[in-house]
Structure 1
Amino acid sequence: MTTFMQIPWNLYHSAEPEAGEILPALTGRWKRSRPVEQFDPNWSYILTGNASTVSVVAALHCGHADVPEHAWSQVLRLYCPAAWRLLTDAGISFERWNLGRCDAVLCARVAATANTELGGYAVFAVMDVPAAVAEVVATLGSVPTFT
């Protein structure tokens, strides 16, 4: 299985300026409000399809606020065309895939493809299906079936 790079907490320092604003840590009596610097992604720029992959990854994982719900599917569609094609060819919606409501091998393949297209960063969780099956068999003696 491919190992993807961990996302550094300060990846946004490598992003282009249009990707968002770096908010400095506050000092003095305001320090409680923002004790460390934070990244405020510019979602209107990120979702144009013109941002670098570093900016996209930083926006998804280093921002100080939650990622807008629609951004995940837009990022996959705009920046991960091969992964998006895997989903559309299989007739699976992003929402079903994101919730894991599709074949485990397909889920893993889409996530691995997307991570590769996003610069090799571990953006989406990838399950090593063969390793998981081997662990289940080693633990239980066989793959359980439910009827």
Structure 2
Amino acid sequence: MAKLTSTDTYLQKTQGGLFVQGQAFRTCNNIYQAGFTTCYLQVIESMQAKAYVIVGIYQGTKIWGLLAAYQNSGCREWQEEEVEVLSQIASQLGVALQQTDYEIKCRIKRHNWQRRLKGCDRLPPPLTKFANLF
């Protein structure tokens, strides 16, 4: 794994670029023929990449991050199947993020209910059953 030592000013300036607008992926077969700015080329070169595919990781409809695969040995013609595999991985990561978010919200609600019910010494039978769920 390459350690990114440069700052991607484009992503900072655009707050996620086209991925914020819902773009699913971006492929680049040859970084030197893609018309990138010098600044962006320096970022990619710092990772020793010659080609790449980047896929958005979405938590619902909001961009959470990016999943990237780089070709360092030379240019590469990315195959549709390769992009599809990365897209599916990103999709599964997005589902996992949503599930984690839901689990956290459930735990917070459960904790709040436990605190509220703790002060009640004697609950009516229907509420006792409900309280035992927590």
TM-score, normalization by structure 1: 0.23
Structure with the larger RCO, 1 or 2 (CA within 8 Å, 6+ apart): 1
Max Rg structure: 2
TM-score, normalization by structure 2: 0.24
